[in-house]
Structure 1
Amino acid sequence: MPGTNLTRDEAQQRARLLTVDSYEIDLDLSGAQEGGTYRSQTTVRFTAREAAATFIDLVAPAVREVELNGTALDPAAVFSDSRIALDVPEGDSVLRVVADCAYTNTGEGLHRFVDPVDEQAYLYTQFEVPDARRVFASFEQPDLKATFAFTVTAPEGWKVISNSPTPEPENGTVWRFAPTPRISTYITALIVGPYHEVHSSWEGGDRSVPLGLYCRPSLAEHLDADAIFAVTRQGFDWFEEKFDFPYPFEKYDQLFVPEFNAGAMENAGAVTIRDQYVFRSKVTDAAYEMRAETILHELAHMWFGDLVTMEWWNDLWLNESFATYTSVACQAHAPGSRWPHAWTSFANQMKTWAYRQDQLPSTHPIMAEINDLDDVLVNFDGITYAKGASVLKQLVAYVGMDEFFQGVQAYFKRHAWGNTTLPDLLTALEETSGRDLSTWSKKWLRTAGINVLRPEITVAEDGTMTAFAIRQTAPPLPEGARGEPVLRPHRIAVGLYELTDGRLERVERVELDVDGELTEVPDLVGRARPAVVLLNDDDLTYAKVRLDAESLAVVTEHLADFTEPLPRALCWASAWDMTRDGEMRARDYLELVLRGVGRESDIGVVQTLHRQVKLALDLYAAPDWREEGLSRWSAAALEHLNAAAPGSDHQLAWARAFAATARTGAQLDLLGALLDGGATVPGLTVDTDLRWALVQRLAATGRADAGAVEAELKRDATAAGERHAAAALAARPTEEAKAEAWAKVVESDTLPNAVQESVIGGFVQTDQHELLLPYRDRYFAALGTVWEARSHEMAQQIAVGLYPTLHVSQETLDATDAWLASASPSAALRRLVTESRAGVERALRAQAADAG
């Protein structure tokens, strides 16, 4: 519908016409416990540069009143297709809109959740990208900033939190919030319900910023407030120093909310975070590191995105890439950080995501061409976040960290409370660094695709290197991708490593600029040939790196023997990329991991290897060898579980890996015994979430029926328990269970977002190929209707989650191509399906390589 899919041209026309001054929003949420709809009244003051026709956005079941400058307009005449048509005069105007708006269970707009523990309703808003219009009438685009004053009526005793500090309620039920600074619609927020709260503050010089944490009371015992506040204060200290701009809002609340679609959202002064980050069971340190990165990412957004906001969504990277880079940099460099090796996690996880995304048919420049809202809704991807952050890391190496942050400081001071485009940032960085960034930005920000760097080494008979060069190639972009491959300038380090007493230690490091097809490195000529030559040491640039034959042979035997975690992570990532590209067989990747994972100390890397091995075996292994590989992996997982230090993170990680892959009768018997207490592993606590991992695997293998799942749900009668149970029921290996799960997701639209996601996750089981095969045709038959009928978040879950990824065959590719040719899908849906198709195509090539 044109009304819900705002185009860039429409947004530019509206921005040229209007300046928006303020919103006053009055919401009656007194009936939230019962659900349904609620009364929304919006009064917006704006100025038009000339008399013209325009519109304001609103998604609502009914519009009761529309009044422009005191004149009533007929809602039936002006409200259509999620827009209210307006003929505005030149000069100042006041618009008042009264509507019935709807609570949602999709994580969009004003989400309503009822906690099964206390049967109380909990509300929160999620507005990015275009969903403030589900709660109040708004000019829904980032460059029409205004002030926002919320008045909320809610049940007595509830908490009401917004962007401005929470006032004392009138008569216990009406909260009138002071106006916000000038911000965009999508970062306004309301969180309403009987939430549990904890308060503290950040002290900086003569300033004090109130800090708040909120969660549902049923999670309060698990809320580790001191740890969360510690990370938050670390971020305040580091960002205020590096940005040289005071935190721009009056307070900083972090609200852990249920059924959240993303990791978190940077609402100004009222950040919402998925409440799975309130850990109810033991997790590894990697989970705490990930949570800390999320906390710091959203705090960085208070400057990048909230204080200074992109003009339009093609500059989304100005928000997300900077928040990602600065959050990891804070973890790595802030004094006293618990995670000084954060760049290791970034290299092994975030950059792997970016490399995968950049090799899909949908690859795009970091500064993407966003023509409408449909484009941006599918653009929160590995390029916008991880590739963009990688490129910024390289830019910091190129211009210097001090010069980089001096440019950022000038940028904030120059554009505070405004909207910007790429040239605004580049101008500031050029001024402080003295570098001309025009070529750099053109090649890095405005082109797609990934480069490959390889060393070319000539060695004399005495073992000295007589020539050393770095060859850069730009592989063709995937079929269907826009643009042309391009060679880019890279700032990299070359590390030379020697094997001493069984350990690989760096003995030399050379940092240089690489540009063009071949770059000579004269500084290394005349040196003895080392055991390993590692390009892009310290992970300064964004490129696929390959080892020369001699280095690869040493790394294959000694990958776990690097004394530092980052070079290990880089080599692990390179091996995984080679496996995905069919340059390393899946069975050889398994051997590499089995040889080295037991000595890998970084728990985040270990858990990444667990996921990658399982994926390689499920999708990239030749079908006639797959079961042998899976058997070897499950046996190794059990062996490592028994050998791990009792109570350690590694023990927990291996317990989960074993639970995910146990397959023999004896292994499944052990899962059952761990569940009922008939067996124990010294130091391993089979707590609530680990119990569910065991139940789900037993259900997927036919060892746990519906009664067993229901019994486990009685032990854990929580929202999380309901999600786990839904997944376990959908995982059962029977035609009836699959039909029931399919009907709940595809043929009905009553499931909340989080439960739907769980059912899809349980439905798709990698060792149930034959059982799931009939659903390939059913997927394509239903997809168009689902996409048109469901909200974006719910439809995307289905489009991606139920695509027949496991059926790696030419028949799946043909079925996909036939659907794409006949269905005429929207650009957003076409992108999601072609990305999934590319995964099957890659898996076919990898399987052929593994068989060969």
Structure 2
Amino acid sequence: MPSLTRAEARTRAALLTVDALAVDLDLDRDDRTFGSHTTLRFTCHEPGASTFADLRPETLHRATLNGRALDPASLADGRLPLPDLAAENVLEVEATMAYGHDGQGLHRATDPADDEDYVYGHLFLDAAPRVFACIDQPDLKAPYTVTVRAPRHWSVVGNGAARQVEPGRWQLATTQPLATYFVTVCAGPWVSVTGEHDGIPLGLHARASLAGPLREQADHMLATTRACLDHYHRLFGIRYPFGEYHQVFVPEFNAGAMENPGCVTFRDTYVFRGAATPDQVLERDNTIAHEMAHMWFGDLVTMRWWDDLWLNESFAEYMAYRTSAEALGAPETWVEFGIVRKLWGYAAERSPSTHPVAGSPAPDALSALQNFDGISYAKGAAVLRQLIAHIGDEAFVAGVTEYLRSHVFGNGELSEFLDAMGAAAGRSLEGWADAWLRTAGADRLALGRDGTLTRTAPDGVTDRPHTLDVAAFEGEREVLRVGVVLTEPRAAVDGVAAVGEGVVLVPNAGDLTWGEVVLDDTTLALLPRRLAEVPDPLARTVVWTSLVGGMHRAEVDPRLLLDVVERAWPLEDDASLLSRVGLVVTGSVVPVFLPPQERPAALARVAAAADVLAERAAGIPGAAGDAVAVLAARIWARSGSDLDRLRAWVSGDGLPAVLAGDDDFRWLVLRRLAALGALTDAELAAAEEADRSLAGRLAAMGVRASRPTAEAKAWAWERLRDDAELSNYGALELARGFWVGAGPEVLRPWVSEVGDLLAHLGERMGEDALARVAAALHPRGVVEEASLEASTALLARDDLSPGVHRALLDEDHVLREALGSRRRFG
């Protein structure tokens, strides 16, 4: 099916103005299909011309253009021809549509806890035609009036304020102009918590089986929502423009959240069923702030085409972290940014798929999906911090505000943004944009003991100015902190040469710029015994990020990283560092970068470090101690091999009190037992019976796939291949568990089969969901030269979509990095 090209979008945008859409959805039919009736009003600037509308129905019953019947057989490849247009046009379409099970279109999911169904619309990136007839491109925005018929015990939430006009019949208020991919309807027997702030009605909604956790956590989420609204109102002087503000926690959601105006959708794992650590709460707060920032960046002003995606995501990313620090009183959010988001972004920069922050080619809509990555998010946000260092915060805010005001309810692009920022700054920003926005790759920053700070740029990259600081730490004392504006390949930093040999040197210690840090050999040698003493959590973040990046570049032995984890990690205070470093070492360092024969001993060392952390937790009073105990238990459950302890934890014995009754933690322990080949059928059946929730059903799939037997792998593979009703989340759980547990001798037969399976899945799964499954299914789980040969053949196939190919290319790069590390360090 062809994807809309940029050239086609420009032609339609020059030809048409979309004036309004009325969409009527009938969700009270069966669990497979729904009815869709669309009335689309639009103006044609060249009467007599022809174009097409976008539509992907199961059955097209009727289509009329200006009262003239259109031949249903003319619909081909999702395009309905619209010939001989008048100046003012009305297109009416009546169709039967199919519910999605891949998280796209109108997704329908059943909660096994009570057998209730839930429906939500996720029309990103090009899924709107699976729900209603439209002109599907971001620069043809229009107001929507939506009506919905639903089962009588359901409630409906959408972009416009919803009211029930008769039993089972809902009317949503006409919206402000929206891009098609922002339209949503969420319907089901939701449990809801409502509120109001500054004249704005607020709502939180989740599945009925999550009623208890939602109500317990609602006060915190509503307080976060109110604080973010106030902050954005103060910052931009532009009020929230979309009426009511609802946040719906929906099942089987592909991303973290989606910024639908007035009705933001979140993955429902953000409603925590069990213990929630500070980093998890911080992540949820940040996601709330991120999606709200989109109400201005992306929703009020939308990029004209997908190559300016950064105008949406980079700004929302930066604004969310800034807001978390300033409005939510959480400066530790920048630690999370460094150890989670920047790690993601630096990995994307190392990959062959790297691209510029702005203006990355998006010749068609589907190719744009490849750029929703750590560059558009994390690097873009870091670049905005550098822009503020370059022009000052006052000019930055003034420029942003002018850009928003001058494009309200419209579309913008890079050149217009730069004009607004340049006017506010009183100078041209074209050179800055060339260096930071239009060229790919990360500079590498190194600080020598002689005080020389060097910047090594990727080949062909224009020199970038860096505003940063360097610091030196002797034990718990910060003995040096120097600010630097680096405009040349090298600069002398005063005071560094005078520090002693026992001092840890950290370039970019405040994590202010975007650049991969290379630590000097003396500092590397000091880290196992000195990193925990460094008093600045941002400096520790930079060090951890440098170690992980150095391992991927085959410059740091993964065994050194393991040494630092063993000695420094259990003494760490920041929850984000504890959580993310633990996940990296158990999910990447040990299973990918260490050879198989070293893994059991390495995991034993990690488990011992988790025990040290647990001992620390016992001495920390209150909620802070509980949080550390949870983090320690989670990492032990990923690395420990004491079967008696694992089985006791499954039964609830010997657990930290805060984890009592925590179903998600029990599944984590069961997954470890399964990977160790120690989980019986009876134990798994008992766990499934004890947790009949949607999360439990999905977790059980991953646990079954994690068993280290040929039979378990065959079961998982066949379920992926043959189960046409398998949801996006079910497929992802099976894929994530597939390469776990078993040795190479069990997994090798499947390495060369991945491509055929992905091509088969592509017949029933959308690009967004399948790209995630493809990343998990890539055979980097077997780190051998034969896997690289299979990966090379996989990338050469011509029957995989661009998004899937991009996901596989990134995983292929990680496999090459692991093999490179093995060749260097043995």
Same fold per TM (> 0.5)?
A: yes
Q: Tell me how far 1:657 sits from its aligned partner.
A: 0.9
Which deviates further from its counterpart, 14-23 or 574-583? 574-583
SS of 2:227 mapped into structure 1: helix
1:255 counterpart residue number: 248
Q: Tell me how far 1:297 sits from its aligned partner.
A: 0.4
Are residue 58 (structure 1) and residue 55 (structure 2) matched?
yes
User: Would the alpha carbon gap of residues 736 and 549 (structure 1) be closer, same or farther in structure 2, given more than 3 Å must change?
Assistant: closer
1:369 counterpart residue number: 361
Are residue 572 (structure 1) and residue 547 (structure 2) matched?
no
- Tell me the distance in 1 between the aligned counterparts of 2:35 and 2:654: 57
- Select the residue among 92, 96, 111 that pairs with 2:92: 96
Q: Tell me how far 1:242 sits from its aligned partner.
A: 1.1
Q: TM-score, normalised by structure 2?
A: 0.95
% identity of equivalent residues:
38
Which deviates further from its counterpart, 303-312 or 569-578? 569-578
Which deviates further from its counterpart, 692-701 or 628-637? 628-637
8 Å contact from structure 1 (residues 674, 686) kept in 2? no
- Tell me the distance in 1 between the aligned counterparts of 2:258 and 2:65: 33
- Tell me the distance in 1 between the aligned counterparts of 2:185 and 2:87: 31
Q: CA offsets per residue over residues 406-448 of structure 1, 9 Å max, x none?
A: 1111111111111000011111111112242111111211111
> Aligned partner of 1:256: which letter?
F
Q: CA offsets per residue over residues 643-669 of structure 1, 9 Å max, x none?
A: 532752121111111111223xxx112
- Tell me the distance in 2 between the aligned counterparts of 1:824 and 1:271: 34
Which deviates further from its counterpart, 313-322 or 400-409? 400-409
1:70 counterpart residue number: 67
Q: Tell me how far 1:73 sits from its aligned partner.
A: 1.4
2:20 counterpart residue number: 22
Which deviates further from its counterpart, 546-555 or 52-61? 546-555
- Tell me the distance in 2 between the aligned counterparts of 1:69 and 1:194: 39
User: Would the alpha carbon gap of residues 829 and 688 (structure 1) be closer, same or farther in structure 2, given more than 3 Å must change?
Assistant: closer
- Select the residue among 236, 240, 244 that pairs with 2:229: 236
- Tell me the distance in 2 between the aligned counterparts of 1:630 and 1:850: 19
- Tell me the distance in 2 between the aligned counterparts of 1:448 and 1:488: 11
Q: Tell me how far 1:380 sits from its aligned partner.
A: 1.2
User: Would the alpha carbon gap of residues 604 and 669 (structure 1) be closer, same or farther in structure 2, given more than 3 Å must change?
Assistant: same
- Tell me the distance in 2 between the aligned counterparts of 1:509 and 1:517: 18
User: Would the alpha carbon gap of residues 825 and 696 (structure 1) be closer, same or farther in structure 2, given more than 3 Å must change?
Assistant: closer
1:480 counterpart residue number: none
- Tell me the distance in 1 between the aligned counterparts of 2:780 and 2:539: 32
8 Å contact from structure 1 (residues 263, 273) kept in 2? yes
- Select the residue among 191, 199, 221 that pairs with 2:194: 199
2:344 counterpart residue number: 353
> Aligned partner of 1:59: which letter?
R
Within 5 Å, give how 1:343-492 maps onto structure 2. Answer: 343-367=334-358, 368-458=360-450, 468-476=451-459, 484-492=460-468
- Tell me the distance in 1 between the aligned counterparts of 2:156 and 2:792: 50
- Tell me the distance in 1 between the aligned counterparts of 2:53 and 2:658: 60
SS of 1:796 mapped into structure 2: helix
Are residue 509 (structure 1) and residue 476 (structure 2) matched?
no
Which deviates further from its counterpart, 10-19 or 542-551? 542-551
Are residue 287 (structure 1) and residue 280 (structure 2) matched?
yes
Q: CA offsets per residue over residues 335-385 of structure 1, 9 Å max, x none?
A: xx2422211111111101000011111111112111112211222111111
Q: Tell me how far 1:838 sits from its aligned partner.
A: 1.0
SS of 2:446 mapped into structure 1: strand
Q: CA offsets per residue over residues 292-325 of structure 1, 9 Å max, x none?
A: 1111000000000000000000111110110000
Q: CA offsets per residue over residues 513-571 of structure 1, 9 Å max, x none?
A: 212322344x5589666934432132111001123344444445311112221111111
Which deviates further from its counterpart, 347-356 or 535-544? 535-544
1:213 counterpart residue number: 204
Q: Tell me how far 1:158 sits from its aligned partner.
A: 1.8
Q: CA offsets per residue over residues 193-242 of structure 1, 9 Å max, x none?
A: 11111111112xxxx11111111111010011100001111111111111
Which deviates further from its counterpart, 56-65 or 401-410? 401-410
Which deviates further from its counterpart, 110-119 or 131-140? 110-119
Q: CA offsets per residue over residues 576-607 of structure 1, 9 Å max, x none?
A: 21122111111111111212112210011011
1:297 counterpart residue number: 290
Equivalent residue pairs, number: 815
Q: TM-score, normalised by structure 1?
A: 0.92
Q: Tell me how far 1:762 sits from its aligned partner.
A: 2.2
User: Would the alpha carbon gap of residues 314 and 506 (structure 1) be closer, same or farther in structure 2, given more than 3 Å must change?
Assistant: farther
SS of 1:640 mapped into structure 2: helix
SS of 2:714 mapped into structure 1: helix
Which deviates further from its counterpart, 772-781 or 717-726? 772-781
Q: Tell me how far 1:781 sits from its aligned partner.
A: 3.5
Q: Tell me how far 1:746 sits from its aligned partner.
A: 2.0
- Tell me the distance in 2 between the aligned counterparts of 1:556 and 1:661: 20
User: Would the alpha carbon gap of residues 244 and 295 (structure 1) be closer, same or farther in structure 2, given more than 3 Å must change?
Assistant: same
8 Å contact from structure 2 (residues 565, 606) kept in 1? no
8 Å contact from structure 1 (residues 61, 101) kept in 2? yes
User: Would the alpha carbon gap of residues 220 and 827 (structure 1) be closer, same or farther in structure 2, given more than 3 Å must change?
Assistant: closer
- Select the residue among 268, 271, 277 that pairs with 1:275: 268
> Aligned partner of 1:24: which letter?
A
User: Would the alpha carbon gap of residues 822 and 301 (structure 1) be closer, same or farther in structure 2, given more than 3 Å must change?
Assistant: closer
8 Å contact from structure 1 (residues 621, 850) kept in 2? no
2:180 counterpart residue number: 185
8 Å contact from structure 2 (residues 97, 131) kept in 1? yes
SS of 2:779 mapped into structure 1: coil
1:690 counterpart residue number: 665
Are residue 130 (structure 1) and residue 126 (structure 2) matched?
yes
1:462 counterpart residue number: none
2:622 counterpart residue number: none
Q: CA offsets per residue over residues 654-685 of structure 1, 9 Å max, x none?
A: 1111111223xxx1121112222454557653
> Aligned partner of 2:147: which letter?
T
8 Å contact from structure 2 (residues 33, 99) kept in 1? yes
Within 5 Å, give how 1:503-582 maps onto structure 2. Answer: 503-505=476-478, 507-510=480-483, 512-521=484-493, 524=495, 531-582=503-554
User: Would the alpha carbon gap of residues 822 and 717 (structure 1) be closer, same or farther in structure 2, given more than 3 Å must change?
Assistant: closer
User: Would the alpha carbon gap of residues 751 and 300 (structure 1) be closer, same or farther in structure 2, given more than 3 Å must change?
Assistant: same
Within 5 Å, give how 1:604-753 maps onto structure 2. Answer: 604-614=576-586, 615-645=588-618, 648-663=626-641, 667-680=642-655, 685=660, 687-753=662-728
Q: CA offsets per residue over residues 43-78 of structure 1, 9 Å max, x none?
A: 1111111122210001111111111111111211x2
User: Would the alpha carbon gap of residues 708 and 94 (structure 1) be closer, same or farther in structure 2, given more than 3 Å must change?
Assistant: same
User: Would the alpha carbon gap of residues 674 and 782 (structure 1) be closer, same or farther in structure 2, given more than 3 Å must change?
Assistant: closer
SS of 1:491 mapped into structure 2: strand
SS of 1:161 mapped into structure 2: strand
> Aligned partner of 1:613: which letter?
V
- Tell me the distance in 2 between the aligned counterparts of 1:142 and 1:22: 15
8 Å contact from structure 2 (residues 54, 79) kept in 1? yes
> Aligned partner of 1:238: which letter?
H
Are residue 593 (structure 1) and residue 565 (structure 2) matched?
yes
- Tell me the distance in 2 between the aligned counterparts of 1:624 and 1:547: 29
SS of 1:80 mapped into structure 2: coil
- Tell me the distance in 2 between the aligned counterparts of 1:428 and 1:553: 48
> Aligned partner of 1:847: which letter?
R
SS of 2:292 mapped into structure 1: helix
SS of 1:538 mapped into structure 2: coil
Which deviates further from its counterpart, 633-642 or 288-297? 633-642
- Select the residue among 781, 806, 814 that pairs with 1:831: 806
User: Would the alpha carbon gap of residues 96 and 565 (structure 1) be closer, same or farther in structure 2, given more than 3 Å must change?
Assistant: same
User: Would the alpha carbon gap of residues 690 and 457 (structure 1) be closer, same or farther in structure 2, given more than 3 Å must change?
Assistant: closer
- Tell me the distance in 2 between the aligned counterparts of 1:761 and 1:829: 16
User: Would the alpha carbon gap of residues 214 and 819 (structure 1) be closer, same or farther in structure 2, given more than 3 Å must change?
Assistant: closer
- Tell me the distance in 2 between the aligned counterparts of 1:660 and 1:572: 20
Which deviates further from its counterpart, 830-839 or 363-372? 830-839
1:141 counterpart residue number: 137
Give the CA RMSD over aligned residues: 2.0
SS of 2:513 mapped into structure 1: coil
2:36 counterpart residue number: 40
Q: CA offsets per residue over residues 171-201 of structure 1, 9 Å max, x none?
A: 2222222211111111111111111111111
